[in-house]
């Protein structure tokens, strides 16, 4: 009987952890303004940054608009810096999380779609991806800065959020300049 109770408790705890991860991944936490878990924050922040870097590297060669290429250069530099800072912080503070090195399946799908596009179609899709990605990242960082459970990561999220807000505004301005929204 005791063994069944312990097994049930572990199963429930596991399902709660999965639910939080699924809630973050599906946007439920964002819609409700709930802070992500530390693992979810680190995973989403790392993957978001990697998507920004990889899609912007494509934009440097595939974009037809010089403003889009300039924007891509800034995204690569800023997100590489943030990626390195996140890795250094996790390592130096011995934060017990796993930093993913891959993109989510939806990010990989978006990147694959970008690879198939060219010219104005590429520019439009890249701008949309940048706008949407930065909108999600701003929410993620603001929510963790407000309610995250690791003080060092909270501080980093709070310090990094303004840069992401600036990127979001730049993506919005780039989009407005091109007249697609």
Kindly give, in sequence order, each residue whose CB lies less than 8 Å from that of residue 44, ignoring residues fewer than 6 positions away. Answer: 24, 36, 140
Q: How confident is the model at residue 180 (pLDDT cuts 50, 70, 90)?
A: very low
CA dihedral for 109, 51, 162, 36, sign (positive or negative)? positive
Q: What is the CATH number of the domain that holds 69?
A: 1.20.1260.10
Domain that holds residue 163: 35-178
pLDDT in tens, 113-167: 999 999 999 999 999 999 999 999 999 999 999 999 999 999 999 999 999 999 9
pLDDT in tens, 47-106: 999 999 999 999 999 999 999 999 999 999 999 999 999 999 999 999 999 999 999 999
Same domain, 74 and 139: yes
Q: Count of domains in the chain?
A: 2
Same domain, 84 and 57: yes
Listed range (10-19, 42-51, 119-128) with the worst mean pLDDT: 10-19
Tokens of 136: 């999600």
Same domain, 10 and 99: no
**pTM: predicted TM-score of the whole model, two decimal places:** 0.83
Same domain, 108 and 22: no
Same domain, 64 and 124: yes
Give DSSP secondary structure letters for 35-68: PPPHHHHHHHHHHHHHHHHHHHHHHHHH---HHH
Q: Give the whole-angstrom CA distance, residue 115 versus residue 112.
A: 5
């Amino acid at each position: 009987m005791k063994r069944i109770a312990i097994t049930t408790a572990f199963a429930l705890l596991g399902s709660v952890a999965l639910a939080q991860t699924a809630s973050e991944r599906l946007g439920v936490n964002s819609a409700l303004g709930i802070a992500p878990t530390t693992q979810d924050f680190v995973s989403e922040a790392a993957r978001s940054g990697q998507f920004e870097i990889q899609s912007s590297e494509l934009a440097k060669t595939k974009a037809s608009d010089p403003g889009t290429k300039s924007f891509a250069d800034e995204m690569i530099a800023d997100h590489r810096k943030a990626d390195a800072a996140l890795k250094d912080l996790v390592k130096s503070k011995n934060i017990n999380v796993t930093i993913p090195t891959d993109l989510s399946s939806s990010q990989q799908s978006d990147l694959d779609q970008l690879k198939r596009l060219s010219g104005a179609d590429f520019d439009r899709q890249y701008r949309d991806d940048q706008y949407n990605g930065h909108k999600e990242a701003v929410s993620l960082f603001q929510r963790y800065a407000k309610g995250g459970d690791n003080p060092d990561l909270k501080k980093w999220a709070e310090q990094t959020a303004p840069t992401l807000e600036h990127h979001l505004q730049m993506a919005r301005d780039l989009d407005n300049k091109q007249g697609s929204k």
